[in-house]
Amino acid sequence: MMNKLVQHLTQQLGKPSQGLWGWLVTRFLENKNRFLELNAVRLCDIQPENTVLELGFGPGLGLEEAVKYLTHPKGKLYGIDYSDYMHSIASRRLQADIQTGKVTLFFGSVEQIPLEDSVVSRVFHCNCYYYWPDLHAGSKEIHRVMKPGGLMVTTLNLEALEKIVAAGVLKGTQWPPEPYMKVLRDTGFVDVRMVDKQDKGRTFQAIFATANKA
Ligand SMILES: C[S@@+](CC[C@H](N)C(=O)[O-])C[C@H]1O[C@@H](n2cnc3c(N)ncnc32)[C@H](O)[C@@H]1O
């Protein structure tokens, strides 16, 4: 019984769907992940005229924050998530900026991003790569859409992750950061590093990766 609940929770975190579970997971993400989302945006060093992409945006808190930085008319924000439920919730949250064309949200997968080559200058994501069906394909695709020299930031809380993993959640996912970082290097990212960071007295981790110029 307990195993089934934990398995279901893991599935819903990886792809929330409409219904009671999806609603609960959304409340959880909104309450617990705001801190990591805001820090991913902060560490991305977004410039007003940048083109920015969030992967696995969930309820859209990071998108809401990132768009505030894009004050230049050229600044543009994209997001992609393969949960239709998350896509509809975030679309409602970002409605005004979607209407002006400042923000575009794709309902789709990280492994197939509907953007041209070398157009994105900043990418961020939180609690997302754990669930990608193919880390290598995902990373290669992100690298394809990034401008050479562009920066990608992933924030995570290793201590919290280890606790939920010990409780059986995230079983079968690819949450450990090292294999993810290796795949980033294998697919053309350079200067890939994980750093301890602090904000408001709390410690978390940030993985930085730069799209190779070659
Ligand atoms: C645990 S939630 C995190 C949501 C948000 N980033 C946060 O931290 O609150 C993971 C999100 O990533 C999305 N996701 C996972 N793998 C994906 C993939 N391969 N392509 C697109 N979206 C994906 C899920 O649908 C879900 O919305």
Say which CATH number the domain at 176 has.
Answer: 3.40.50.150
Q: Supply the range of the domain harboring residue 52.
A: 2-211
Residue of minimum CA distance from atom 24 in ligand 1? 15
Length of the chain: 214
Q: How far is CA 90 from the centre of its chain?
A: 13
Share of the chain above pLDDT 90, in %: 84
Most confident of 23-32, 116-125, 166-175: 116-125
Mean pLDDT of the 185-207 span: 97
Query: What's the confidence (pLDDT) of residue 43?
Result: 98
Q: Phi, psi (5° rounding) for residue 75?
A: -60, 135
Mean pLDDT of the 151-172 span: 94
Task: Give residue 90 CA to ligand 1 midpoint distance, Å.
Answer: 12
CA distance 116 to 163: 39
Question: What letter does residue 18 receive in the DSSP assignment?
Answer: S
Query: What's the confidence (pLDDT) of residue 2?
Result: 67
Task: Give residue 179 CA to ligand 1 midpoint distance, Å.
Answer: 18
Question: Band of the pLDDT at 145, cuts 50, 70, 90?
Answer: very high
Residue of minimum CA distance from atom 14 in ligand 1? 56
Domain count along the chain: 1
- Burial group, residue 140, by CB count within 10 angstroms (0-12, 13-18, 19+): middle
Whether residue 207 is predicted with pLDDT greater than 80 in this model: the reply is yes
Q: Work out which ligand 1 atom sits closest to the CA atom of 57.
A: 6
Does an H or E element contain 5, and which?
A: helix 2-14
Mean pLDDT of the 68-90 span: 98
Q: Work out which ligand 1 atom sits closest to the CA atom of 131.
A: 16
Residue of minimum CA distance from atom 8 in ligand 1? 126
Mean pLDDT of the 50-76 span: 98
Question: What letter does residue 134 receive in the DSSP assignment?
Answer: -
Mean pLDDT of the 27-41 span: 93
Quote the tokens at residue 196: 């301890």
**pLDDT top residue among 175 and 12:** 175
Whether residue 1 is predicted with pLDDT greater than 70 in this model: the reply is no
Residue closest to 181 by CA, chosen among 172, 191, 173, 166: 191
Whether residue 51 is predicted with pLDDT greater than 70 in this model: the reply is yes
3-state secondary structure of 54: strand
For a ligand 1 pocket test, name from 128, 153, 183 the mutation site with the most ligand atoms within 8 angstroms of its C-beta. 128
Task: Give residue 27 CA to ligand 1 midpoint distance, Å.
Answer: 14
Q: pTM value?
A: 0.96
